Amino acid sequence: MTDQNKLRNLEDLGEFALIDHLTESFENRNPTTIYGVGDDAAVIAISEEESLLISTDTLVEGVHFNLMYMPLKHLGYKAVAVNVSDICAMNGTAEQITVSIAVSSKFSLEALEEFYEGIKLACAHYNVDLIGGDTTSSLSGLMINISVVGRAKNDKIAYRSGAKDYDLLVVTGDLGAAYMGLQLLEREKEVFRANPNIQPDLDGHDYIIERQLKPEARKDVIEFLKELEVVPTAMIDISDGLASEILHICKASKVGCRLYDEKIPIDAKTSMMALEFNIDPSTCALNGGEDYELLFTVKQEDFEKVQSNPHMSVIGHITDEKDGIYFIDKSGSAITLRAQGWKHF
Amino acid sequence: MTDQNKLRNLEDLGEFALIDHLTESFENRNPTTIYGVGDDAAVIAISEEESLLISTDTLVEGVHFNLMYMPLKHLGYKAVAVNVSDICAMNGTAEQITVSIAVSSKFSLEALEEFYEGIKLACAHYNVDLIGGDTTSSLSGLMINISVVGRAKNDKIAYRSGAKDYDLLVVTGDLGAAYMGLQLLEREKEVFRANPNIQPDLDGHDYIIERQLKPEARKDVIEFLKELEVVPTAMIDISDGLASEILHICKASKVGCRLYDEKIPIDAKTSMMALEFNIDPSTCALNGGEDYELLFTVKQEDFEKVQSNPHMSVIGHITDEKDGIYFIDKSGSAITLRAQGWKHF
């Protein structure tokens, strides 16, 4: 088998199918394992009232981040935020993290201190404790693995699999900004590469750049849901683009869905930058990743509660599985929804 | 600052000092965080009776393992075993793991399947469930991060910090074999490199090679301790060599120690190979790593119970801190014990 073939093997499968394939023959043996592979976090039984939530994420230099425009402090902050986001996506509260890094000799002690400064800020912001980790050398670049431990009441845990016919599809905040921030940073990087005398032109684009470099986990939304007394029937965080996440919920819940283009919340700054790049703003929201907003479903009876919260937008509704998964564009045409989000393979 | 200086910065500090330095200003905010950075595992409160234990380990190709002689199936097994060992070192039971890998395009799907086959075997052997993880691409080689979740009764948890004056120092199994296995594999690799027609000469060395390629976590010892009704006053697993681990216990417990050379358990096969390599067998035990045996301290009154178990050897005793940390050689001379174990930086 040639190297080219090997690469294609993994690329063809994609990350999710690869994990499914590699782990499908594993079986759970411990009664404390409530839920394993396949959701935003695993669920471990600890008492009649509560469960522990565990999730883990790996970030690889050159694959998930580029240190040319990502300051190490922001990277540390973001690495924690994306893990906290996984716990939010289960309707839980993050409490502890472990941070493991493998780092090549090109990094100075000062660089690592800056990275940990970002981690510390995020720990303070999300009220999370650093409880362990590992620091080792790597042969090339920086690799980060964070595991997060959270907690949730057993009757409040939101899996991907609980969406039911007629439930409303809700998203928080606005979408596509992190993706446009990345496009802008990539463009200015190329300009700088071509001519290092030209300074990056990032003026007036703080919002989309911050959405890329310093995303926040929607811990506030978990608080809002608690105050509103709404328990999502299903939930996931948007790391790979809206389309991909909707498909995850539909697959896990064995339901269909109708998503309305005109309802997707997109900030004006995102739209403007998208048009400058000749990209349809909806495409940024559907396929751009790293917004770390929450996508969830609620029962129809919760409509008014959700509607009353300025951070939540109803963008569609769940249907029977046989009715398919459709994107309804602004002209009213129904288009089969496909994932074209991030594939790191 | 030159690259050379940067490297020296991290190298000079060493892994443990680096983690201490980077995490010293972090504070814990959650009452559920019982113990954070600094032991074999972190401890999280879950009930009046029990705690959860969390540990994480990163293995980097070219730093922690060499695929030239480490089959991927063994690597998968070992990656789980070393994590389970961290839970054993707290006197707990491992129940769940997450496995994250970053893998370059040189690996085929078949290679990953083999790796996961090893993980599956270890999960079955240690009764551990795979509950999550992450599969992503890397720019070079294979990097593995495993986090493990365990459980222990609150009154049975063994920290590094509980050793008291007059306690006995106990080690399980025998030491130095994994290090001699590595030396043998490295030698045969060089022979093979010099002349690929010469087959590796590993005949009769199964024991030390298996100790290197397929170490086991001493889950059985945790069972023995339970049966004997012995709770170690302090415990650690031997990943970096006996000397380094004794120093960890003494530092954390603020005690001194006397370790007797003649009491250190070393298998005859290890000694023979050490002599072939012109290495003092005791040096293998003191400074060779990856034995994954357990080192612990018990009260004097538990001497007979420990003595009755064939897997446990009393190798010394704890003293007052001001009496220092000494290695008593076979001639009776006391030598200050120093760590010369693994430093990956």
Angle at B209 between CA B41 and CA B197, to 5 degrees: 135
Instruction: Assess whether B229 and B145 both reside in one domain.
Output: no
Distance CA B131, CA B271 (A): 41
> Which element (helix H / strand E) includes B97?
strand B93-103
Residues 6+ apart with CB under 8 A from A169: A246, A257, A259, A295, A296, A297, A314, A315, A316, A317, A318
pLDDT string in tens for chain B (345-residue length): 334 444 445 666 777 788 889 999 999 999 999 999 999 999 999 999 999 999 999 999 999 999 988 999 999 999 999 999 999 999 999 999 999 999 998 899 999 999 999 999 999 999 999 999 989 999 889 999 999 999 999 999 999 999 999 999 999 999 999 999 999 999 988 888 888 888 777 888 999 999 999 999 999 999 999 999 999 999 999 999 999 999 999 999 999 999 999 999 999 999 999 999 999 999 999 999 899 999 999 999 999 999 999 999 999 999 999 999 999 999 999 999 988 754 444
Cβ of B44 within 8 Å of Cβ of A26? The answer is: no
Distance CA A203, CA A273 (A): 12
Distance CA A82, CA B83 (A): 24
Range of the domain at B101: 13-153
**Residue carrying the six token digits 């590595």:** B182
Distance CA A113, CA A109 (A): 6
Instruction: Assess whether A183 and A113 both reside in one domain.
Output: no
pLDDT of residue B14: 75
pLDDT of residue A345: 42
Q: What is the CATH number of the domain that holds B258?
A: 3.90.650.10
Measured in angstroms, the CA of B5 and the nearest CA of chain A are apart by: 8
| Residues of chain A under the 50 pLDDT cut | 1-8, 342-345
- Inside any domain, residue A215: yes
Q: Measured on CA atoms in the order B153, B154, B159, B164, is the torsion positive or negative?
A: negative
Distance CA A67, CA A111 (A): 11
Distance CA A57, CA A55 (A): 7
Instruction: Assess whether A179 and A74 both reside in one domain.
Output: no
Phi-psi map region of A255: left, alpha, beta (phi>0 left; psi -120 to 50 alpha)? beta
Last residue of a domain, one of B101, B125, B153: B153
pLDDT of residue A90: 98
pLDDT of residue A2: 38
The ipTM assigned to this model is: 0.91
Instruction: Assess whether A147 and A165 both reside in one domain.
Output: no
pLDDT of residue B10: 67
Give the pairing of strands A256-260 and A325-328. Answer: parallel
Phi, psi of A75 (to 5 degrees): -60, -45
- Inside any domain, residue A194: yes
- Nearest CB to A98: which of B139, B147, B344? B147
Chain A, chain B: beta-carbon pairs less than 8 Å apart:
268
Instruction: Assess whether B247 and B320 both reside in one domain.
Output: yes
- Please report, rounded to a whole number, the percentage of residues in chain A having pLDDT higher than 90: 82
Cβ of B44 within 8 Å of Cβ of A35? The answer is: no
Measured in angstroms, the CA of B31 and the nearest CA of chain A are apart by: 9
Distance CA A198, CA A176 (A): 27
Q: Which residue of B has its CA nearest to A120?
A: B26
Among A2, A58, A90, A144, the residue to mutate for chain B (most B Cβ within 10 A): A58
Q: Measured on CA atoms in the order B289, B126, B86, B250, is the torsion positive or negative?
A: negative
Instruction: Assess whether B113 and B190 both reside in one domain.
Output: no
Instruction: Assess whether A147 and A166 both reside in one domain.
Output: no
Instruction: Assess whether A253 and A316 both reside in one domain.
Output: yes
Nearest to A297 by CA among A148, A158, A157: A158
Last residue of a domain, one of A118, A153, A188: A153
DSSP letter string over B123-192? HHHHT-EEEEEEEEE-SSSEEEEEEEEEEEETTT---GGG--TTPEEEEES--SHHHHHHHHHHHHHHHH
Nearest to A147 by CA among A121, A127, A129: A129
Distance CA A20, CA B343 (A): 36
pTM of the model: 0.92
Question: Radius of gyration of chain B from Cα atoms?
Answer: 20
What's the token pair of residue A265?
């919340």
- A259 SS3 class: strand
Among B131, B134, B138, B143, the residue to mutate for chain A (most A Cβ within 10 A): B131
Number of domains within chain A: 2
Last residue of a domain, one of B104, B130, B153: B153
Terminal CA-CA length for chain B: 18
pLDDT of residue A313: 98
Instruction: Assess whether B236 and B308 both reside in one domain.
Output: yes
Q: Between the CA of residue B123 and those of A44, A249, B35, B78, what are the distances in Å?
A: 17, 29, 26, 11
